[in-house]
Structure 1
Amino acid sequence: MEPRNIFQIVRNQYLDNLHVQKDVQNAVKKIRASQIDGKTHMQALETMLYENHFIYQSRQEPETDVVTELFFVHPQSSTMWCASPYVLLIDATYKININNMSSVQVVGLMSTRKSFCIAHVVICKERSDNFVWVFKKIKLMLHECMEFSDFQLLRLKDEDFKRL
């Protein structure tokens, strides 16, 4: 629940107490900090993925063992993708989080024209080998869904959409 919603509930239930929204934000921040229990953000995320049975893979820097990329999929998303593996949209949003890492969203489209999230990827640097790693993970998941193993990836860039 978002802090502003918590603040509204507290304000409505305790009319005689003086609370400001910053009090609630500080309390939520302390609770979240205690939940990660001294782990880095990436370690806390990986723990949450494991506990909630997500399908995930990470890639580390060989010299330091620091996680540089993290690919994760909810099991239900994987099932939905196997049912509708024909349309795939990939979008990268650059440097959107506290660690200045890029986020890649993989979205599928069902025959009912409803979209659903397939996978999320966090990458530390916008290098071609990182994106190749992402495409390989997507291709591996697709091979698990499809009966045939040879398919073509259609890659479209923003410039391609401008031409349509």
Structure 2
Amino acid sequence: MLESHDWVDREFGLTDLLPGPCLACGSRLGVRYPSGWLCAVCEWRVGEIPDGSIADGRVDVVYYLRYGDRIKIGTSANPRHRFASLPHDEVLAFERGGRLREQRRHAQFAEHRITGTEWFESNEALVAHVTELSEGVDDPWALFDRWVSRQIAQHG
């Protein structure tokens, strides 16, 4: 019986917590093989140091931030850096896309836009859109990190 268990572990790996966060995507979930660990999210070999181009996996996103009763719709490929300069109470959601998608969202909710800004008064349609984007997503940052890790895995 133990031989068959060992064979399955060698063939398919054993899913478990990584000894530390994945250096490529930050995930803590991994698959352990006799030859070592792979990240379960981006399949990066644990212990290998990502080079600069891989570590900077670019994913453009449209973001939704709440500050008081206002919602900002913006875009960034580096939202952690961008948000450091923005006042906000909460990261509501992300959706993949760049400037064109951001412009479409600005047009979609234009009647509630605060003149001269990318901030919008909270309204039923915008809140419904954000709710739809965040459905099934406990942490918007985990979703963003998954997109980045996929980008790294596909192009790394």
**TM-score, with structure 2 as normaliser:** 0.25
TM-score by length of 1: 0.24
Larger relative contact order (CA 8 Å, sep ≥ 6): 2
